């Protein structure tokens, strides 16, 4: 076993400490992270190997006595591709070389002036960056208290990007990487269709072949985006297995990649999946937070007090949060989909209700039963209808740096209509979940608190779904 297999050894020891799931015992409190760090330090400093070349892993006898770790104790991610215990590479051997090559290409391009100049030029002239930080005056007024006090709400307008969402940031950058890797065939998964549209768009722009996997149910409720992808020259392959939604589309995309890894690059659309994707996708979306910091300084001479974003896999949220993770005076709030309610089995509130497990190549919080089988999620929003979440979100939750809440389908629909009427902005149903949480958040905030909410996408794609939902309800 090589050093990269240490995570598997840690996992096996942890499983021996618990007769149930990954989420119990060792994985139940903050000591898990320092414990893992101690094990890795032992590997690095003592050359912790037996004579047979096996990595030796040691668990502290009483992990609860270890001090609670702090954010500064961690690399994000470390050399194993992990955020604390989360992340890693749980993939077939077939993909290991492709992932290593992708990481190497990414790290070489990250400091390559020519690559960065090309990327920044495309983001500016093709995507339309930077996006505005818009003061939502009437929305702020709506949440003003009777005594005239209340928060000031700003929207980071990612909905104004070319293709109508934040997804294009990552798609453009990965397409440029794929060209440098010599791979002309691109595959992607999509739920709401925004990542599929973004991928099809950049493939048209760069002359690349494009195949997008999409759940059959999502194709029905996002028929406009299906047409857009095909118009852009992409092949859209329906996935009928499972619940025919995002999880199943992702699984099919990974199967394709395993089969065609030599010629194909997988543009994964979220901060999920095996390393280096959570890092890579986060960094390509980090432009959102960097712009926000600069714009806030220009507008009021300081930082936001609170950042709010919806979370499915979590790419738009990490894009906003990453710049501010080390600013501990800035609250980070992610909002998940509670569907019919977290007391039912029809929700997608992974961080609120999930347990630790492995899905799509990474360890993270998942919706799973006592036998470790995935519980099918539900959300009115196709982009949040996913039973997992990015590993860095799991990490930020467990160390207490970010807060995660959930809102129901009904609450999101109310917010969808409210922003449309108050600000003349029709938000995506994904974004509507973050907007809905303002109803609970704003009454708790001091006067003048500056809230930046990531308006991650526009709602044109969701109008037909909303019409059907409201007809069924009323």
Backbone angles phi, psi at 405, to 5 degrees: -135, 180
Q: End-to-end CA distance of the chain: give it in Å, rounded.
A: 61
- CA angle centred on 128, ends 123 and 132, rounded to 5°: 115
The CA R_g of the chain, rounded to the nearest whole Å, is 22
Where does 21-89 show beta strands of DSSP type E?
82-83, 86-87
- Burial class, 101, CB count within 10 angstroms (exposed 0-12 / middle 13-18 / buried 19+): middle
Q: What are the CA-CA distances from residue 404 to residues 178, 269, 350, 455 (Å)?
A: 34, 21, 10, 17
Catalytic residue among 140, 379, 406, 456: 456
Cβ atoms of 361 and 273 within 8 Å: the answer is yes
Cα–Cα distance between 358 and 89 in angstroms, integer? Answer: 10
Catalytic residue among 156, 167, 397, 461: 167
Question: Is 167 an active-site residue?
Answer: yes
64: left (phi over 0), alpha (psi -120 to 50) or beta: alpha
Cα–Cα distance between 163 and 460 in angstroms, integer? Answer: 11
Query: What single DSSP character describes residue 396?
Result: H
- CA trace torsion 265, 267, 272, 276 (10° rounding): 50
Greatest Cα-to-Cα distance within the chain, rounded to the nearest angstrom:
73
- CA angle centred on 374, ends 394 and 260, rounded to 5°: 85
Cα–Cα distance between 268 and 281 in angstroms, integer? Answer: 8
Cβ atoms of 431 and 455 within 8 Å: the answer is yes
Query: What single DSSP character describes residue 449?
Result: -
Question: Is 189 an active-site residue?
Answer: yes
Cα–Cα distance between 338 and 384 in angstroms, integer? Answer: 10
Catalytic residue among 158, 189, 291, 430: 189
Q: Which residues are catalytic?
A: 167, 189, 456
């Amino acid at each position: 076993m090589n050093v990269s297999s240490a995570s598997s050894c840690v996992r096996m020891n942890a499983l021996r400490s618990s007769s149930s799931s990954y989420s119990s015992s060792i994985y139940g409190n903050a000591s898990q992270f320092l414990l893992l760090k101690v094990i890795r330090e032992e590997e690095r400093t003592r050359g912790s190997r037996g004579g047979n070349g096996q990595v030796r892993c040691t668990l502290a006898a009483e992990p609860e006595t270890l001090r609670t770790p702090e954010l500064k104790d961690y690399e994000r991610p470390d050399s194993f591709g992990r955020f604390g215990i989360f992340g890693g590479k749980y993939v077939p051997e077939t993909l290991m070389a492709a992932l290593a090559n992708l990481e190497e290409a990414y790290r070489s391009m990250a400091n390559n002036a020519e690559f960065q100049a090309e990327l920044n030029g495309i983001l500016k002239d093709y995507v339309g960056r930077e996006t505005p930080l818009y003061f939502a005056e009437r929305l702020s007024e709506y949440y003003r208290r009777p005594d005239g006090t209340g928060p000031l709400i700003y929207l980071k307008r990612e909905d104004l990007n070319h293709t109508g969402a934040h997804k294009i940031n990552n798609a453009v950058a990965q397409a440029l990487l794929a060209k440098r890797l010599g791979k002309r065939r691109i595959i992607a998964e999509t739920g709401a269709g925004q990542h599929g549209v973004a991928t099809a768009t950049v493939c048209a722009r760069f002359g690349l072949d494009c195949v997008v996997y999409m759940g059959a149910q999502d194709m029905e409720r996002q028929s406009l985006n299906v047409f857009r992808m095909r118009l852009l020259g992409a092949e859209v392959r329906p996935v009928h297995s499972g619940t025919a939604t995002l999880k199943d589309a992702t699984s099919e995309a990974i199967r394709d990649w395993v089969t065609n890894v030599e010629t194909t690059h997988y543009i994964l659309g979220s901060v999920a999946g095996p390393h280096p994707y959570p890092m890579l996708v986060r960094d390509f979306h980090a432009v959102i937070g960097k712009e926000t910091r600069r714009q806030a300084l220009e507008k009021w001479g300081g930082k936001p007090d609170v950042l709010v974003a919806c979370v499915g896999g979590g790419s738009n949220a990490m894009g906003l949060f990453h710049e501010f993770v080390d600013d501990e005076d800035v609250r980070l709030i992610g909002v998940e989909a509670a569907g019919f309610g977290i007391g039912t089995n029809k929700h997608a509130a992974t961080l609120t209700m999930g347990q630790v497990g492995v899905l799509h190549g990474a360890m993270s919080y998942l919706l799973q039963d006592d036998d470790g089988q995935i519980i099918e999620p539900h959300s009115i929003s196709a982009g949040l209808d996913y039973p997992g979440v990015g590993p860095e979100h799991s990490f930020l939750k467990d160390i207490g740096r970010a807060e995660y809440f959930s809102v129901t389908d009904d609450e999101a629909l109310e917010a969808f209509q409210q922003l449309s009427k108050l600000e003349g902005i029709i938000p995506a149903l994904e974004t509507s979940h973050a907007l809905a949480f303002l109803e609970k958040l704003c009454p708790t905030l001091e006067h003048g608190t500056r809230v930046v909410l990531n308006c991650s996408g526009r709602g044109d794609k969701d109008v037909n779904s909303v019409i059907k939902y409201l007809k069924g309800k009323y």
